Structure 1
Amino acid sequence: MDTKARPTLAVSTKFQAPTYDTQLVGRDRLLDVLRDGRARRLALIHAPAGFGKTTLAVQWQRVLRAEGVPVAWLSLDRDDNDAVWFLSHLIEAVRRVEPTLGGDLVEVLEGHSDDAQRYVLTELVNQLAEHRRPLAIVLDDWHLIDAPQAVAALEFLLEAGPANLHLIVTSRTRSPAVGRLKVRNQVTEIDATQLRFDHRESAAFLLELNELDLDSTDVHRLWSSTDGWVAALQLATLSLRDSADPSALIRGFSGRHHSLGDYLAENVFDALPADLLDFLLTTSVCDRLCGDLAAAVSGQRRGQALLEELERRDLFLRPLDDNREWFRYHHLFVGYLRRRLERDHADRVVTLHRTASAWFADHGLLGEAVTHALAAGNDAGAVDLVERQAMHLVEHSRMAVLLSLVNKLPSALLPGRSRLQIAIAWANCLLQRAQPAQVALDHVRAALTPDDTSDTGKDILGEADVVQACIDVYGDRIYRAADLIAPYIAKNSGYRPWLVAVSSNIRTFVDIHTFAYDTAQARQRWANAFHDTTRGPFAGVYGRCFAGLAAFAQLDLVTAERLYREAVALAREAAGPRSHAARLAGALLGRLYYERGDIDAAERLLEECHELGAESGVADLMIATYSTLARIKTLRGEIEDVWHLLDEGSEAASQLVLPRLSAAVDHERLRLHLARGDLGRAQNVLARQSDDVARGGDGIAMATRHYQLAMRARVMAAQADYDGALRLLSQMHQESSSVAWRYAETATRIDLAVVHSLTGDTDTALRTLVPAVVAGARCGLVRTVTDAGPELLKIIGELRDASRCRRWPVELPTVPSDYLSKLLATAHADAERAAIPIIDRPAERNPAPEEPLNAREIDILRLLDRGLSNKEIARNLGLTINTVKWYLKSIYTKLGVARRGESVSEARRRRILA
């Protein structure tokens, strides 16, 4: 598709203050009010139209900039009622004045709008706080925003924003709500009474700025009759310039400013040339104008020249950029123009909106094209516009944009639009919204019956099968997926690359979970040609991730790492470092880094994936995030965070109906309870699991069953029922071996060795373990071995000693001693801060000497004692939330505790707190 025609969210004029070439009346008294409130969070300027709200905001912007404060500007419109668009525009506004802020947060919103909004706001606040230098943001025309999520976003900034953030909001209403801010003295409020020109400002406007020949009586009368209303004074000025008797006109004007439309028609419009008046009326249908658009709508070729003529005449036209390319009429003025257009030329309105819609569509400005089509009553045309661009948006990972546009359309026209419904199904499916995706597919099938013999109908119905298979895969179901997508991966199928690529990925997922690992990797090598010709990164990223999963299952970690790295690089290059696609690949690469023992690199990737919404992608990616990150936090000693994380994983599993994820999360929870010696809580976790063990021979059922059986075996071992534990683990090992699932086979062999060791049968434990560590040494497994617990590491130590002393059993394959040493070194490094015993039992550890807390840590402890949250502590101390978390980790370590309440109790015991 031609780049020019690609739909965009916004043009640069949204992020620039209106340009005023003419001198402005200085609002010194109001600027002094704003200066006095400079340290406050919010400056709220509110009044009806025509009182100079935006003009005052522009003057305050200039003052701040002169003092070296960057000022981001965002001109709002109705489309910003969509929270994703509002946040995207807000971030872009900030980036334009401070490029180091905001990063790639827009891509985060595009990829997963529901889960990412909270993260994006929090991250923006944290970045602003860490930036430390002052920053101001102007939100012009806030009264246009009334959607709850968008309003909540601003309220979050007002509530949680750092001290260096100054928000300036202009609005026709007294919103946002400022009650709590006023109580905390965090708002400066300027209303219509203050915005009215006083006598001095009125005189300056009339005599100095507009050079009118008026005496003091005329000035006073005009000021009194308009009550200082800026718009009325400007209208009067337009008439007075050519008046032979200004005093008489002023007397006639007195009291009429409330009938603005009549006055404007009588004293301004009627004096204009007919072509200029027609130009004003016809172009008023547009919220913003450029020369080419104005020419198209008005039918007058001199569009740019006429805009400049209107500006020269001061007819309420303001440039929106320094290049004077884009303009807009004053809100009050455009309202009258539109009313007069409806009154005098109602028959032209539809045509004008249709023309504007066509112009915006031709220039790739899809949102405005849709708005004008709807205003023209061309609802079907609006649907056509979105339908034509819908799959382009999906394939470029702009699902949130598509769904926002769909929300603008008349819902009654959508069910029968099969092509649009397919795109809607894709968007919802990729955003893990199974129910609305299924509804969209139902609409497709209702609109196109199986009897439809047209090529288009068959193609769309076939594509519906692919989407259905994709929904199934996201729901961890594979029983029909292969059949649904079979036509698309047939040799020389002739379908477009996107469908072939996605279908190949779905079939690869089925291959993995039917243990056809070689087939899975071969299929992806075949599919690369289709991935390379698709227009977005999703298919290629998923393909490499799935091929990597197949390699990992076979213990080919080198190939898995290469594929995961390729997936991350592709996603970051094509969609952005924090895009949905990058997070998917990052979760698996983080899991692999963890397995290799690179905890820091793993934590960075997995934290990013978690913060941006871990409940996305297929279940394998979610398990990689929740389970692996829980283990990392356990090793960091952050036990409270571990519980929160596992609770979140359980909630995601419940909402998305993913038994495999639920079992994986509970397995981590039970494992941690047992490691901490809490058998009772471990039994409670086991009791929550269904009595029915998952049945079925596919990999999904087997993995779910193995998590369930492993939990039972762990509890049995803790209760000294070693025979029962060995029976369950042997079943798991046999099942894994029979399908050549090498990773699971190795992991269960390690678990068997642990139980044999607990029985005292060291010889069997060694013979069971050695083949596993041989495989681990060959492929680079680290954490799977070290995470098995102190019993296993004792055996590893004995093997390392035997290897060094040349006492290795001749009947067993040898294991490189440096690999065994690496395992032990990793375990010893973990043991210092881990929340579970790694090498020794807790009682065998030497107590650490008490380390004194610094002044900042004591401040935080006192706030903890008051019950404040991390956010409230950050606000009180002027820190970022991440900094507070860093201090809490230090406090926990120094006090030897794991929870907030424990830290307060320990501080009291040590008499740090009174």
Structure 2
Amino acid sequence: MKYMSLKYSIPKTKNELVLRKSLFKKLDEAVIAKLTTVVAPAGYGKTSLISSWANLNTKDNLCFKWISLDESDNEIHNFWNTFLNCLITEDKCSKAYKLSDNEQNLNFHYFITVASDYLAKSSDMRLVFILDDFHNITDSKIHKEFNTLIKYLPEKLHLIMISRERLPVSLSKYLINNEVLELDTEDLRFSVEETTSLFRRKSAINISDEDIKILRDNFDGWAAGMQIFILSNKDTNINSDSIREFTGQQRYIFNFFTEEVFEHLDEEIKSFLVKTSCLDVLNASLCDKAIGTNSSYKILEYLEQRNLFLFPLDDKNQWYKYHCLFKDFLNRQLNKHSEQCIKEIYYHAAIWYEESSYYTEAVSYYSKAEKYKEIVAILDNEGLNMLKRGNTSVLRRCLRSIPENISRENASVCIYYAWLSLLNSELNQVNRYLDYGKASLSRSNNDNYEGIEAQISTITIITDYLKGNINKNMEELKSSMELLQEFPQMYCIVALNLGGSYMAKGDINSGEYWFYETLNASKEIDSFYTAIIALRSMSTCKFLKGEIKELEELYTDCLKYCKTAKVEYSPIIGLLYVGIADINFRKNNLESCENYLETALELGEAANINEILYDGYLLMSKLLVCKKDYKKAIKMINKAKYISKKDKLFIRVIEPVETWEINLLLNVNDLSSVDQWERDNSVVLENDINMLNLAIYRTLSNIYIKKGLSIKSINTLSKIVSYSENNSLEGVAFEAYVKRALEYYKIEKLSEAFSDMESVAALLLKSENFRVVFEHDKELLDLLNMMKISTDNFPLDFLVNRLKIRTLKSSEELLSERETEVLNLVKLGYTNTEIGERLFISTGTVKRHIINIYSKLDVHTRTQAVLKASELNIL
């Protein structure tokens, strides 16, 4: 068994174990709740209870996962890394490490995602996640996230927390709702019956029921104390007097270890026990190295055969640990040795771990031995690999084990700190560590001088860039990308920001190039977060260029990638759903748009992901405008504005929420607010059009159209057409051509109107990407009919179809197929719940369909809807 898998192994159940059936029953009943807590001092059988229950459980629908938490898990990234690696099954172990090594994924959201995927494989399976020794976790950040995890725990996942100390979990709400089982010292105390069973299994000595009751009362049901009493009297006659003299106080337990166990061992065994007591786990090879012997295998075998408080951790009996009370006793003996002697044991244990490539454990023991040069040597050999793999939690623990005064004197250590600070956007810290690194480099002869210099230069450029010095550093940043390819995680982040910067400058093609780079590089390292952000950013380029079909294919591929990577339930997937909803909106598939959008917003709101919420609220407002629900649309706009003020993204510069708000106000004829915005922004028309003011130009053209200012609107639209054609923004040009054609038609400039519509037709024949929906169907149809009369072989039907012009308002096409199905069931008198059951959809979806029906038919009740639909021959 590999060393790391010991953390995830359920301890073996011994044959002589007392089966605690009443507690087993409570545990069986609790698995449908959120949480079980088992809190009691050492020796009360917490781990034995839960491990035996898990090992002996015969229910096929329960899947048990076990973590033995230790001090190395008391760091937030490593904590969630441990969780994820435990959860993933063996056949996906390598994929799990690749995913979990990416530090930005390490949080409770991602754990919920992976757990949900795990549970989705079986409809009736329940996952029982057991956390032993939770008292080792003292980090307040972990406590905070863990409380949130419990709040959003998947329905079929049950947590069991085992601890010697009070848990940092707020339980009152869950207790009220019967969502938690609490087991404490009182529950874990052995009853008289269990004490009797213990004696019968552990000892052949006859003892009266009365004496058993006295013994149980003296020890207050403390299992460890009673077992030690049995061991201490296995060769003597037990009577009532000896029972009364032996109390349950722990000082007597230590006396027992001294007098009844330790003093009867030979010196070699004593020395072995004491010296190896400072090791967390034991195996023969490790012990040989740590204490300088070659007899560890023989001694471990002897200790196990004699049942001397040594427990196997695996089926092959290669790894062991001491009973916690015995280990405490041995540690007291170890403290009698010199500090230097103890450090030597730590040092040689560290060497064994390093030679076995367990770098985290090696660093831990080197730190205890105060051998900091050896830690630096590990970093020199492995630090870059940790950084390249994105395994930053391990790198951080290595760095933190080195005292600050030593860290400052080592250039490579300072550079690693700078990289980590950069990844966490702690830009002030970056400069501090760079200064330390430069100073150290100038004072020492470092074999990797040029490599460190190159890293310092790259980090400096990136930091300046992220601080806003875009124009100054973009070319320098591009030149450093070759070096950054050695650091895939950082390469993705920088490439994504480069794309955004080019977009902000109006260079849409360069922006799109770097988004592609980010997308592909992110997939290579399974950084699905940056992959999705890159794709959503690329959407802006594609929409502006009118390349909707190609964009749709990219989203489909990315969704497949996320499913392959087993992350399709992650909250950030909501950003993919926003993109797919946006595509459906532009294709006038409003029902599909709404379905995807609702899913996206649920994910975004649950995880509080601003990227999802901003885009989702903005798109929802547009959808509500199509339904003429302007009041709700304005609410969505306000939500998007709030997020925009908190968190600025380049997309919001190119498609700012304020311009869409003005377009919304035009729909509700709130011209006073529109007039003020027009006065504030019309000065833009004096400047050349560019990517940053394109949204303002487009909004001003809409204002002029609404106000009937055809000449002004035509002039503005002409600038938009010219800019779009020069920059290959065919999506923008397509929309501007249609609007300008309608404006020409209004002022009876038919040749110009016809010319614009011919440009529209050419674009439609060139590509299937253009799916723009226009409000003025009647005017557009009139214009096309006039063109047909005036033009030979004019493709009227083609344009009507491709422009999605609604010519049959009273036909069955008014309602979607699903809405017609719902309305037919309404006519038959079915309730919303019954309709949902018949159509296999949720009641909420039924309600949404009915609201859509009311909006499309302009009615307010079920009866009115049925009558109106009958009149229109829909039913």
Shorter-chain TM-score above 0.5: yes
SS in 2 for 1:173: coil
Residue 443, structure 1, aligned to residue 423, structure 2: no
CA separation of 1:605/1:342 partners in 2, compared to 1, >3 Å: closer, same or farther?
Answer: farther
Residue 823, structure 1, aligned to residue 803, structure 2: yes
Q: Which residue of 2 aligns with 1:297?
A: 290
Residue 31, structure 1, aligned to residue 24, structure 2: yes
What is the deviation of 1:439? 2.7
Aligned ranges 1:191-590 → 2 under 5 Å: 191-212=184-205, 219=212, 222-242=215-235, 253-254=246-247, 257-378=250-371, 381-382=374-375, 385=378, 388-399=381-392, 402=395, 418-420=411-413, 422-423=415-416, 426=419, 433-434=424-425, 436-437=426-427, 439-448=429-438, 456-467=448-459, 469-470=461-462, 478-485=470-477, 487-488=479-480
Q: Which residue of 1 aligns with 2:130?
A: 138
SS in 1 for 2:250: coil
What is the deviation of 1:47? 0.8
What is the deviation of 1:238? 3.5
> Structure 1, residues 24-50: CA drift from partner, whole Å, max 9, x if none?
012233334445656544332211111
CA separation of 1:715/1:377 partners in 2, compared to 1, >3 Å: closer, same or farther?
Answer: farther
Take 1:131 and 1:636, find their aligned partners in 2: how far apart are those partners? 38
Letter in 2 for 1:824: K
User: Which segment drifts farther, 573-582 or 230-239?
Assistant: 573-582
Aligned ranges 1:622-637 → 2 under 5 Å: none
SS in 2 for 1:480: helix
Aligned ranges 1:91-110 → 2 under 5 Å: 91-96=84-89, 107=99, 110=102
Match of residue 702, structure 1, among 674, 690, 710: 690
Contact conserved, 2:44 with 2:188, CA < 8 A, in 1? yes
Residue 155, structure 1, aligned to residue 143, structure 2: no
Letter in 2 for 1:169: M
Letter in 2 for 1:326: W
Q: Which residue of 2 aligns with 1:778?
A: 766
SS in 2 for 1:324: coil
User: Which segment drifts farther, 127-136 or 223-232?
Assistant: 127-136
CA separation of 1:104/1:638 partners in 2, compared to 1, >3 Å: closer, same or farther?
Answer: farther
Contact conserved, 1:196 with 1:227, CA < 8 A, in 2? yes
Take 1:494 and 1:58, find their aligned partners in 2: how far apart are those partners? 47
Contact conserved, 1:72 with 1:136, CA < 8 A, in 2? yes
> Structure 1, residues 541-565: CA drift from partner, whole Å, max 9, x if none?
7999799987887667787778788
Match of residue 162, structure 2, among 146, 170, 174: 170
Identity %: 17
Take 1:15 and 1:282, find their aligned partners in 2: how far apart are those partners? 26
> Structure 1, residues 414-435: CA drift from partner, whole Å, max 9, x if none?
56665455555555656xx53x
Higher relative contact order (CA 8 A, sep 6+): 1
CA separation of 1:743/1:222 partners in 2, compared to 1, >3 Å: closer, same or farther?
Answer: same
What is the deviation of 1:75? 2.5
Contact conserved, 1:646 with 1:665, CA < 8 A, in 2? no
Letter in 2 for 1:821: N
Take 1:695 and 1:395, find their aligned partners in 2: how far apart are those partners? 49
Q: Which residue of 1 aligns with 2:868?
A: none
Contact conserved, 1:693 with 1:705, CA < 8 A, in 2? yes
CA separation of 1:265/1:478 partners in 2, compared to 1, >3 Å: closer, same or farther?
Answer: same
Take 1:167 and 1:500, find their aligned partners in 2: how far apart are those partners? 35
Match of residue 775, structure 2, among 765, 790, 804: 790
TM-score norm. by structure 2 comes to: 0.75
Take 1:893 and 1:355, find their aligned partners in 2: how far apart are those partners? 70
What is the deviation of 1:778? 1.7
CA separation of 1:639/1:306 partners in 2, compared to 1, >3 Å: closer, same or farther?
Answer: farther
Residue 53, structure 1, aligned to residue 46, structure 2: yes
Q: Which residue of 1 aligns with 2:63?
A: 70
Match of residue 664, structure 1, among 650, 655, 663: 655
Take 2:574 and 2:601, find their aligned partners in 1: how far apart are those partners? 9
Q: Which residue of 2 aligns with 1:868?
A: none
Take 1:228 and 1:308, find their aligned partners in 2: how far apart are those partners? 31
Take 2:843 and 2:172, find their aligned partners in 1: how far apart are those partners? 32
CA separation of 1:37/1:743 partners in 2, compared to 1, >3 Å: closer, same or farther?
Answer: closer
Take 2:26 and 2:241, find their aligned partners in 1: how far apart are those partners? 38
Take 1:744 and 1:472, find their aligned partners in 2: how far apart are those partners? 34
Take 1:172 and 1:688, find their aligned partners in 2: how far apart are those partners? 69
CA separation of 1:443/1:686 partners in 2, compared to 1, >3 Å: closer, same or farther?
Answer: farther
Q: Which residue of 1 aligns with 2:670?
A: 679
User: Which segment drifts farther, 516-525 or 358-367?
Assistant: 516-525
User: Which segment drifts farther, 166-175 or 762-771?
Assistant: 762-771
CA separation of 1:108/1:195 partners in 2, compared to 1, >3 Å: closer, same or farther?
Answer: closer
> Structure 1, residues 346-387: CA drift from partner, whole Å, max 9, x if none?
322222223333333444434333333333334565566457
Structure 1 unaligned spans of 5+:
839-846, 861-882
Contact conserved, 2:359 with 2:378, CA < 8 A, in 1? yes
Match of residue 44, structure 1, among 37, 45, 62: 37
For the pair shown, the structure with the greater C-alpha radius of gyration is 2
Take 2:807 and 2:428, find their aligned partners in 1: how far apart are those partners? 48
Q: Which residue of 1 aligns with 2:869?
A: none
Aligned ranges 1:645-794 → 2 under 5 Å: 650=641, 653-658=644-649, 660-662=651-653, 664-666=655-657, 669-670=660-661, 673-674=664-665, 676-677=667-668, 679=670, 683=674, 702-753=690-741, 764-783=752-771, 786-787=772-773, 789-791=774-776
Contact conserved, 1:541 with 1:581, CA < 8 A, in 2? no
Match of residue 121, structure 1, among 91, 108, 112: 112
What is the deviation of 1:52? 0.3
TM-score norm. by structure 1 comes to: 0.73
CA separation of 1:159/1:445 partners in 2, compared to 1, >3 Å: closer, same or farther?
Answer: closer
> Structure 1, residues 115-173: CA drift from partner, whole Å, max 9, x if none?
x6446537856985994544433222232334344334443454454665443322223
Take 1:30 and 1:494, find their aligned partners in 2: how far apart are those partners? 56
SS in 1 for 2:307: coil
SS in 2 for 1:485: helix
Letter in 2 for 1:48: P
SS in 2 for 1:74: strand
Query: Alignment RMSD, CA only?
Result: 5.9
Residue 15, structure 1, aligned to residue 3, structure 2: no
Contact conserved, 1:597 with 1:826, CA < 8 A, in 2? no
User: Which segment drifts farther, 702-711 or 15-24?
Assistant: 702-711
Structure 2 unaligned spans of 5+:
817-821, 866-875
CA separation of 1:746/1:52 partners in 2, compared to 1, >3 Å: closer, same or farther?
Answer: same
> Structure 1, residues 185-244: CA drift from partner, whole Å, max 9, x if none?
333332212322233323332342243466667655644443332222233333334558
Take 1:554 and 1:444, find their aligned partners in 2: how far apart are those partners? 42
Contact conserved, 1:669 with 1:685, CA < 8 A, in 2? no
Contact conserved, 1:568 with 1:586, CA < 8 A, in 2? no
What is the deviation of 1:296? 2.7
Letter in 2 for 1:168: I
Letter in 2 for 1:167: L
Letter in 2 for 1:271: H
Q: Which residue of 2 aligns with 1:893?
A: 849
Letter in 1 for 2:775: P
Contact conserved, 1:109 with 1:117, CA < 8 A, in 2? no
Contact conserved, 2:225 with 2:248, CA < 8 A, in 1? no
Letter in 1 for 2:276: T
How many residue pairs get aligned? The number is 843
Contact conserved, 2:659 with 2:696, CA < 8 A, in 1? no
Q: Which residue of 2 aligns with 1:874?
A: none
> Structure 1, residues 437-495: CA drift from partner, whole Å, max 9, x if none?
453244214521699597845544443444455567777864123332365479xx999
Letter in 2 for 1:226: F
